Amino acid sequence: MTWVTTVDRSTTRARISLTLVFFLHATVFASWTPHIGDLRRRLGISEAELGVALMGEPLGSFALMLLAGAIIVRLGSGRVLRWSLRAFAVTTVMIGLSGSLLSLFLLLALWGGVLGTLNIAMNTQAVTVEKKHRQPIMSSFHAAWSLGAFAGSALGSLGNSTSLPLVLQLAITAILALAVIESVNRWFLPQADEEAPTAPRFARPTRPLLVLSLIAICGLFSEGAAVAWSSVYFRDVLAVGPGLVGLGYGAYSLSMFIGRVVGDRIVRFFGPVVTIRTLTGLACGGFTMALLSRDLVVATLGFALLGLGLACVMPLVIRAAGALSDVSTPAAVAAVSTSGWFGVVLGPPLIGIVASALSLTTALALVVVLTGVVFSLAPAVRSAHR
């Protein structure tokens, strides 16, 4: 397949600025997670109460994701991106000021709403930049997010180990990230490069959009399950020591990052359908091998293949949604992102329920089944080539 490689300066600048947005968004997002345990102890709440408080973030995201698509149609992704990034910095710092279970829940719900809006604006702008770029670059943005998550987790762990107060760490991280983004946000592509403000603001449930949404649910269900349960699987099923329980997640995350770094090049050579089917086929085989084996090396390799197999699913789903001709890009991106988020939220607790009734190995077999569904529905992402 032949791709146009001549890119104008404004598109190149937009790509640079958006890559920074993806990286810094993940850095700030991930930097607070190592502090969750300490925050629970500071507030004097139980683990069950913490679980209730943490539900505020996905609930807030759900509440605003679909509405965000309509707002972006009206105002443009660049403008919404600028203001949601500023709101993200402010609400992130506010989390560190939580003084009770109720305030933590409410602040996380507010933060989640901003995150949902930011997610749709980022990915809508990414679709627009890719269309102007005229070649696959969507996976590179998500690779930047994965790298930022590594950086944020490391920063949070460092802050936690040095007893740096959560609010101070979040303030430093958010302010520095916002300062960098403010210096380049004028490079975001304008609304003139997107649909007209009169385009439909909500997505009709057409068959192509429903299939893409189902792929998003299955893919992110598998991602969420792997992230939440990998260490438990290594500890309880493989019976490894404390120093090795994170090996599965580490292998999964690293291979996902590598898959996203090279994903665009693979798509250029083989197309999105072959890419999805090859990678998800590897994921199904590798993760099945991990579940059937009790060997540490085999299990680690299986989790690595799962990360590689899922690496390009959401980037290709978002690009395909943005290429649909019967719905506006922001509305389509909002629909598949909201569906995917549902998979992230549903995955970990459902795995836990099945594990309690049967076994964790049996429960994680759901990941193989749903990754297989993504394999079978792969032709739906062909619209990304239009």
Tens digits of residue pLDDT in 329-348 = 888 888 898 888 888 888 88
Residue ranges of the alpha helices (H) in 162-271?
Answer: 166-184, 207-232, 247-270
| 96: phi then psi, degrees, rounded to nearest 5 | -65, -15
Q: What is the pLDDT of residue 36?
A: 74
- At what angle are helices 207-232 and 313-322 packed, to 10 degrees? 160
User: Quick check: pTM over 0.95?
Assistant: no
- C-alpha torsion 126→226→53→116, nearest 10: 10
Tokens of 193: 């490069």
Q: What is the pLDDT of residue 195?
A: 58
377 DSSP assignment: T
Q: How far apart are CA 382 and CA 234, in angstroms?
A: 37
Which amino acid is residue 27, in one-letter code? T
CA distances to 17, 18, 19, 123, 263 from 13, rounded to whole Å, are: 6, 9, 10, 16, 21
235 DSSP assignment: I
Q: What is the pLDDT of residue 1?
A: 47
DSSP characters for 93-156? HHHTT--SHHHHHHHHHHHHHHHHHHHHHHHHHHHHHHHHHTS--HHHHHHHHHHHHHHHHHHH
Q: How far apart are CA 283 and CA 375, in angstroms?
A: 10
Q: What is the pLDDT of residue 287?
A: 93
User: How is the chain split among helix, strand and coil, in percent rounded to 5?
Assistant: 85, 0, 15
Q: What is the pLDDT of residue 16?
A: 92
CA distances to 61, 123, 275, 289 from 22, rounded to whole Å, are: 17, 9, 23, 33
**Of the candidates 196, 208, 136, 213, the residue with the CA atom closest to the CA atom of residue 328:** 196
Q: How far apart are CA 272 and CA 178, in angstroms?
A: 34
Q: What is the pLDDT of residue 334?
A: 86
The length of the chain in residues reads 386
List, for the chain, all residue ranges whose pLDDT scores fall below the cut of 50. 1-4, 197-198, 384-386
Mind listing the pLDDT tens digit for each residue in 151-198?
A: 887 887 787 778 788 888 888 888 988 898 888 888 888 766 665 544
Q: Is there a contact between 276 and 381 (Cβ–Cβ < 8 Å)?
A: yes
Q: What is the pLDDT of residue 206?
A: 80
Q: How far apart are CA 347 and CA 370, in angstroms?
A: 11
> Residue 69 belongs to what H/E stretch?
helix 56-75
CA distances to 16, 93, 164, 297 from 38, rounded to whole Å, are: 36, 16, 11, 33
**Of the candidates 182, 67, 181, 175, the residue with the CA atom closest to the CA atom of residue 121:** 67
Q: What is the pLDDT of residue 355?
A: 86
Q: What is the pLDDT of residue 192?
A: 63
